[in-house]
Amino acid sequence: MQGSANLNLMIKAARKAGRALVKDFREVENLQVSSKGPGDFVSRADREAERIIKEDLMAGRPTYGWLGEETGAAEGADPTRRWIVDPLDGTTNFLHGLPHWAVSIALEHKGEIVAGVVFDAAKDEMFVAEKGAGAWLNDSRLRVSGRGRMIEAIFATGVPFAGTGPLPATLQDLARLMPVCAGVRRWGAASLDLAYVAAGRYDGFWERGLHAWDMAAGMIIVREAGGFVSAIREGDDPLEKGAVIAGNAGLFEEFRKVIRGA
Ligand code: IPD
């Protein structure tokens, strides 16, 4: 696709950070067997990836604001635009040597996400979208799935871990959804879950307790692939509340009703 200068900047930064992370990921596989384990090493890799991305993006657009998982928020001279970055989404997968993690970069303008990049560096899959220009995986246009029957559909979610989130709500969601669909997956990287909805690999995704950087880029990729995204609770802003639901055009309403318990 012919992306804007901003999108190209985002893609370049994601590739650079992705290359560094792939090298570190190979190292993690060796560290699994040491008694100290790879924990500190992965935290360093995560911080280094954010440093690489921040350096590139801020050099290219010095007036934009910033929200990053590792370095937090900073307002820019231009208060209408900011980067929203998760340098390593799926940290637990990375730590355990599971090749399912991504670099996630979004651009927000006046409170709306206008471009997004989710780069699965281990599989060399670059998911990108820009408002009005469609969504792409490498050089192919993305479309959400055309499935229209819940019983044939596969949904992804994230479940709270280590006491971090609303476990009973998620268990209730599962109790309502599992009997009426073809399956539920939990792969551990929310940005990729959303990208997979855009690619038609999943028919929908929902999760509570997320941060803006986990979902901002994936949200525009789903929308530009013809899917729908909203907060789980009616009227909320998903980026603010951290509870998001996304789905293909045919099933979104029905899926959302099941998750809302309506
Ligand atoms: C996590 C992943 C995971 C989700 C967690 C997130 P991180 O992000 O997206 O799928 O279930 O809620 O925190 O910490 O690996 O960047």
Q: Poorest-confidence range of 15-24, 40-49, 85-94, 221-230?
A: 40-49
| Contact (Cβ atoms closer than 8 angstroms) between residue 222 and residue 200 | no
Q: Which two tokens stand for residue 26?
A: 């190979």
Instruction: Identify the residue with better confidence: 128 or 42.
Output: 128
Q: How much is the pLDDT for 36? A: 66
**Ligand 1 site, residue 118, Cβ cutoff 6 A:** no
Taking the CA of residue 214 as reference, the ligand 1 atom at the shortest distance is 9
Q: Is the pLDDT of residue 34 over 70?
A: no
CATH of the domain at 63: 3.30.540.10
Q: Give residue for tokens 């476990």.
A: 167
Domain boundary among 82, 107, 141: 141
Segment 34-45 mean pLDDT:
80
Claim to verify: residue 120 and residue 168 sit in the same structural domain:
no
Average pLDDT score, the chain: 95
Claim to verify: residue 17 and residue 65 sit in the same structural domain:
yes
Claim to verify: residue 100 and residue 159 sit in the same structural domain:
no
Claim to verify: residue 163 and residue 115 sit in the same structural domain:
no
Segment 223-246 mean pLDDT:
97
The number of folded domains in the chain is 2
Claim to verify: residue 35 and residue 123 sit in the same structural domain:
yes
**Ligand 1 site, residue 90, Cβ cutoff 6 A:** yes
Claim to verify: residue 28 and residue 156 sit in the same structural domain:
no
Claim to verify: residue 200 and residue 251 sit in the same structural domain:
yes
Spatial strand order of the sheet with 154-157 comes to 183-185, 154-157, 204-207, 244-247, 228-231
Separation of CA 77 and ligand 1 centre (Å): 30
Spatial strand order of the sheet with 81-89 comes to 72-74, 65-68, 81-89, 102-109, 112-120, 125-130, 134-137, 140-141
Claim to verify: residue 118 and residue 166 sit in the same structural domain:
no
In 133-234, DSSP assigns E strands to 134-137, 140-141, 154-157, 183-185, 204-207, 228-231
Domain boundary among 141, 164, 183: 141
Separation of CA 161 and ligand 1 centre (Å): 10
Segment 157-177 mean pLDDT:
86
CATH of the domain at 252: 3.40.190.80
Write out the residue range of the structural domain in which residue 107 sits. Answer: 5-141
Cα distance between residue 212 and residue 165, in whole Å: 15
Q: Which two tokens stand for residue 43?
A: 């935290």
Claim to verify: residue 42 and residue 128 sit in the same structural domain:
yes
Q: How much is the pLDDT for 167? A: 79
**Ligand 1 site, residue 91, Cβ cutoff 6 A:** yes
Can you give the pTM of this predicted structure? 0.96
pLDDT digits (tens, 9 = 90+) for 100-114: 999 999 999 999 999
pLDDT digits (tens, 9 = 90+) for 63-83: 999 999 999 999 999 999 999
Separation of CA 9 and ligand 1 centre (Å): 25
Give the DSSP letter of residue 16: H
Claim to verify: residue 69 and residue 121 sit in the same structural domain:
yes
Quick one: pLDDT band at residue 166, thresholds 50, 70, 90?
confident
